[in-house]
Amino acid sequence: MRLRVFDTQSSRRYITFWPFALFAAWVAAWVCDLTLRARFGWGGAADTVYWIAMKGMVWVAPALLAIRTLERAPIADFLGLRNPARGVRWGLGVGAAIVLVNYVGKTLPSGAGLRTPSLDLVFLNAVLVSPIVEEVTLRGFFQTRLALNGRPFWQANGLTTLVFAAMHLPGWYFQGRATTLVEYGARLAPLVVLSLVFGWTKERSGSLYGAILAHLINNLDSAILP
């Protein structure tokens, strides 16, 4: 995929520090969430609204602001929001492969049936909001800037995957989903593979729509199939 160069010296430097700022802001969002929940005792719906708002404020807004002010580039062009038809084809193909692998490797051996998810804010956040937010911020913004800085694709994809994995750690820690290195490793392994696949999908399709759709299908599959 040929990239148009949106080039300033500042845009080449800031991306080195951006992942650390993103991670610190996300940890702060978790600390704030725990504090507010303890103080006001809000329920699941309010908590989900909080996290949707935080994803917009912490993940997406700074990335879009950087594109407009530091990159001085059209947002859609920089993110790779082009070739929607090709992106949809790739997203559907990769998404179907992910569902098949999950079914053969996990669902079929367990003998479990389909789940009927509740069509609520939690479902919307997991299946729609999260894939869009994560792909726009990481594959659309971060991976693109790394490529423009001269990083080979697999290096850019690997660094993006590192950030993608790191951004899941605070949630697992604060929610007590993982307490040992083995538990963290068991959660990280499939996440790393999926992230590399999403990055590859964006690269091969030449469209961020492909990565978003593949990610969305994966999250929908996780909500329906055990």
Round to whole Å and give the CA distance between 46 and 108: 36
* CA angle at 74 for the pair 72 and 50, rounded to the nearest 5°: 95
The pLDDT, as a whole number, for residue 223 is 87
> Would 198 be classed as within a structural domain?
yes
> Would 121 be classed as within a structural domain?
yes
Query: 105-147 pLDDT, tens per residue?
Result: 777 776 666 777 778 898 999 999 999 999 999 999 999 999 9
Query: 193-217 pLDDT, tens per residue?
Result: 999 999 999 999 999 999 999 999 9
> Would 42 be classed as within a structural domain?
yes
* For range 1-11, the mean pLDDT: 49
| 108 vs 63: which has the higher pLDDT | 63
| Average pLDDT score, the chain | 90
* For range 158-173, the mean pLDDT: 96
What residues make up the domain containing 158? Answer: 9-224
> Would 2 be classed as within a structural domain?
no
pLDDT range class, residue 1, cuts 50, 70, 90: very low
Q: How far is CA 188 from CA 61, 66, 125, 178, 205, in A?
A: 26, 29, 21, 10, 26
Tokens of 212: 């978003």
Q: Are 72 and 8 in contact (CB under 8 A)?
A: yes
Round to whole Å and give the CA distance between 25 and 51: 13
Q: Are 92 and 32 in contact (CB under 8 A)?
A: no
> Would 1 be classed as within a structural domain?
no
Helical pair 181-205 and 208-224, crossing angle rounded to 10 deg:
140
> Would 3 be classed as within a structural domain?
no
pLDDT of 103 higher than 90 = no
> Would 122 be classed as within a structural domain?
yes
| 225 vs 129: which has the higher pLDDT | 129
The pLDDT, as a whole number, for residue 4 is 52
> Would 166 be classed as within a structural domain?
yes
Question: How many Å is the Cα radius of gyration of the chain?
Answer: 18
The pLDDT, as a whole number, for residue 9 is 46
Round to whole Å and give the CA distance between 167 and 179: 16
- 225: phi > 0 → left, psi -120 to 50 → alpha, else beta; which? beta
The pLDDT, as a whole number, for residue 2 is 46
Query: 39-56 pLDDT, tens per residue?
Result: 888 888 899 999 999 999
Round to whole Å and give the CA distance between 40 and 33: 10
Collapsing DSSP states into helix, strand and coil, what is residue 7? coil
Domain count, the chain: 1
Enter the pTM of the model.
0.91
Residue the block writes with tokens 């492969």: 97
